[in-house]
């Protein structure tokens, strides 16, 4: 991509990684169709909202000014672009559009921008020597002002998204009473399921059930989660005697609303008081 004129004999070896990935996907599709569906078919069915792309792009660049500094440093440099910088720029050409496309999908979140941020940070780090050289070429007063501006840009790049990132420090799936929930499931009679965290019943009774998140993705309607719980999960709830529900940072109201509809009622368990885990039963426990 960086050579001029571009020669076909140099382009063909560069296509080897892409060809190997396509061959691997073709092999997976022919050998293990379920895995191919989970890797490709189902994610591709999720709706993309292209009208969000412009605002997301503005957010991405406006909240990461060190990337703009790195680009400016490359533009004003009198030296040729190094091989390392070429690799990073090539990664940016791929990762920025993919990150924007991913966050624009139904259910996309700001964590979708992670790969773009990593590549943008890498470019800034790779250009530090050039930036420091530029600072040394300035007068003391101008160098001082420019250094303060760059320091502020660094702080801004890592704290402008603080309102999005700080909330993630306090959210989790479940809580510290996970082992208590596993022990409870182990001693319960009848059919016990925990769709919101299948590992609970798997560890307790060696049964690995279905996940609402996966089923909702698999049964998307027009690229979005359906308004009703998929039949596979409904059947699991109808066949269960008890269900261990889990409060998570990803809300699934369609699942919680289906518990009473399946004839289940919440049971008070002292060991799970003030916990993210709750027990639902069809019996009068």
Q: Where are the domains of the chain?
A: 1-45, 54-169, 178-281
Q: What is the pLDDT of residue 3?
A: 62
pLDDT value for 285: 55
Burial 148-176 (b: 16+ CB within 10 A, else e): eebeebeeebeeebeeeeeeeeeeeebee
Instruction: Determine the distance from the C-alpha atom of residue 113 to the mean position of all C-alpha atoms in its chain, rounded to a whole number.
Output: 8
pLDDT tens per residue across span 215-246: 888 888 888 888 888 898 899 999 989 999 99
User: Mean pLDDT in the chain?
Assistant: 87
**pLDDT score recorded for residue 23:** 94
Residue pair 194/243 in contact (Cβ under 8 Å)? The answer is yes
Could you give phi then psi for residue 139, rounded to 5 degrees? -70, 165
Mean pLDDT by 10 residues, the chain (285 residues): 64 79 93 89 87 93 93 86 89 94 87 91 93 89 92 88 67 84 91 92 91 86 85 90 88 87 89 90 73
Element (H, E) at 178: helix 178-187
């Amino acid at each position: 991509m960086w050579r001029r004129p571009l020669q076909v004999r140099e382009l063909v070896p560069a296509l080897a990684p892409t060809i190997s990935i396509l061959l691997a996907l073709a092999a997976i599709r022919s050998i293990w169709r379920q895995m191919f569906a989970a890797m490709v078919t189902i994610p591709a069915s999720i709706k993309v909202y292209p009208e969000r792309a412009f605002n997301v792009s503005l957010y991405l660049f406006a909240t990461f000014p060190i990337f703009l500094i790195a680009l400016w440093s490359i533009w004003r440099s009198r030296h040729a672009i190094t091989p390392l910088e070429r690799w990073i720029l090539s990664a940016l050409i791929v990762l920025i559009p993919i990150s924007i496309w991913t966050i624009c999908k139904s259910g996309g979140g700001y964590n979708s921008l992670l790969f773009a941020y990593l590549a943008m940070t890498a470019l800034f780090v790779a250009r530090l020597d050039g930036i420091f050289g530029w600072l040394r070429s300035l007068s003391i007063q101008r160098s001082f002002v420019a250094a303060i501006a760059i320091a502020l840009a660094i702080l801004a790049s890592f704290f402008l998204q603080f309102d999005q990132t700080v909330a993630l420090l306090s959210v989790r799936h479940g809580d510290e009473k996970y082992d208590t929930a596993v022990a409870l499931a182990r001693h319960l009679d009848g059919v016990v399921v925990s769709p919101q965290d299948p590992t609970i019943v798997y560890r307790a009774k060696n049964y690995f059930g279905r996940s609402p998140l996966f089923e909702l993705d698999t049964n998307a309607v027009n690229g979005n989660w359906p308004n009703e719980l998929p039949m596979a999960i409904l059947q699991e709830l109808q066949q269960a005697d008890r269900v261990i529900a889990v409060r998570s940072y990803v809300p699934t109201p369609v699942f919680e609303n289906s518990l009473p509809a399946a004839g289940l009622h919440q049971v008070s368990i002292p060991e799970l008081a003030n916990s993210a885990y709750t027990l639902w039963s069809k019996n009068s426990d």
